[in-house]
Amino acid sequence: MLFFNSKIHYYLRTRGLLLVLGLLSVFLGVGSVLANPGLIAEKRKVTRVQAVYLKHLINFTHWDANDLPVPSKSAKVLLLGDNEGGMVETFEYLVSESKMKIGGRSVEVIHFEKPLAPDAIKAIESNPSVIFLLPKSNSQAKKIRDLSPKSLLVGNGRDLVEKHKADIAFTVSKNRVRLVIREKSFTRKSPMLSSRISALRNVVEVIP
């Protein structure tokens, strides 16, 4: 019975994720047409959508216990680069408001404006659970991946996945946010994305 209940709970959570991602994608497209905001407002809107996407993607990612800190310590999410559009504050709010957990651990969000500053490199090498590359940080993606090969690496732009072995990249086309996801992210042991995410074909593109 417990197993059955857990499967039902997982199914409902997954359906909720797919619904949220689908609605967000549609909302971004429709909202931009109706409101016709300026460039800064549009960037903020995209940033808010990305922050919500990131939150849900983390919730549907599994980490092996060996890739997490001891239970008494928090799991780390690093945000690296310029804080354009308020991504850091938006994501911090979502983490706090939802009481986000990674593998049962509390989550600590850490921002470094300079991705390869000494303190940032030390944090990257400590195997954080998630690394999110903010705008203008893509040029450092290869080195960051080499420093932390087991982190879930997320950022912006298709090239991040195709050329720099990131796991997930946000792309914006016709005012819609989409996800480009590396196929290996669904099959490796840790961190492993739920395969159900790939079912949302109007939002997600899976590439080798």
Distance CA 117, CA 139 (A): 14
At 85-122, the pLDDT tens digits run: 899 999 999 999 999 999 999 999 999 999 999 999 99
Q: 């080798």: which residue's tokens?
A: 208
pLDDT higher for 14 or 66? 66
At 41-53, the pLDDT tens digits run: 777 888 899 999 9
Q: Is the pLDDT of residue 12 over 80?
A: no
Distance CA 139, CA 123 (A): 18
Instruction: Please report the pLDDT score of residue 176 as a whole number.
Output: 82
| Cβ contact 148:133 at 8 Å | no
Rama region for 5: left / alpha / beta (φ>0; ψ in -120 to 50; rest): alpha
Distance CA 131, CA 145 (A): 9
Instruction: Please report the pLDDT score of residue 33 as a whole number.
Output: 33
Instruction: Please report the pLDDT score of residue 170 as a whole number.
Output: 95
Rama region for 7: left / alpha / beta (φ>0; ψ in -120 to 50; rest): alpha
* Nearest residue to 24 via CA among 58, 41, 47, 6: 47
Distance CA 112, CA 197 (A): 29
Do the bridges between strand 152-156 and strand 168-173 make them parallel or antiparallel, or are there none, so unpaired?
parallel
pLDDT higher for 126 or 10? 126
- Whole-model pTM: value is 0.83
Look over the chain and give the mean of its residue pLDDT values, rounded to a whole number: 84
